[in-house]
């Protein structure tokens, strides 16, 4: 396709495996050091990691996994995206952190 420069920079939702353009609404979690496309993906990821903060609505999240966030669909989406990154179609935008704990050598 003319006019498209590869690899395309995208944001990658750590739970759902979906990729989005850089200006898509979403948020970066400092707790998990990764980007999520929505709050539901964040809570689903927290449930996967065994975080006790989701205990109050764990039943709702598990029902969503039966309909919306089916593990087999997410697994295949992640595998397909990994192959697309290896093929050079996409490049994941990563957040970098400045280290404040390093003593300056001035």
Tell me whether residue 98 is in a domain.
no
Tell me whether residue 14 is in a domain.
yes
pLDDT tens for each residue of the chain, 106 residues long: 567 788 999 999 999 999 999 888 999 998 999 999 999 999 999 999 999 989 999 999 999 999 999 999 999 999 999 999 999 999 999 876 655 555 444 4
Ramachandran class of 33: left when φ > 0, alpha when ψ lies in -120 to 50, beta otherwise: left
3-state SS assignment for residue 32: coil
Tell me whether residue 103 is in a domain.
no
- pTM score: 0.82
Q: Are 21 and 102 in contact (CB under 8 A)?
A: no
**What is the count of structural domains for the chain?**
1
Taking the C-alpha atoms of residue 62 and residue 57, their distance in angstroms, rounded to an integer, is 9
Tell me whether residue 79 is in a domain.
yes
Tell me whether residue 46 is in a domain.
yes
């Amino acid at each position: 396709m003319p006019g498209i420069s590869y690899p395309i920079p995208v944001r990658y939702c750590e739970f759902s495996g979906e990729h989005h353009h850089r200006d898509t609404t979403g948020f970066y979690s400092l707790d998990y050091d990764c980007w999520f496309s929505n709050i539901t993906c964040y809570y689903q990821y927290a449930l996967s990691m065994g975080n006790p903060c989701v205990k109050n609505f764990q039943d709702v999240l598990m029902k969503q996994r039966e309909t919306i966030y089916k593990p087999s669909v997410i697994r295949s989406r992640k595998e397909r995206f990994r192959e697309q990154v290896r093929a050079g179609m996409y490049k994941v935008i990563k957040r970098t952190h400045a280290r404040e704990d390093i003593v300056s050598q001035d």
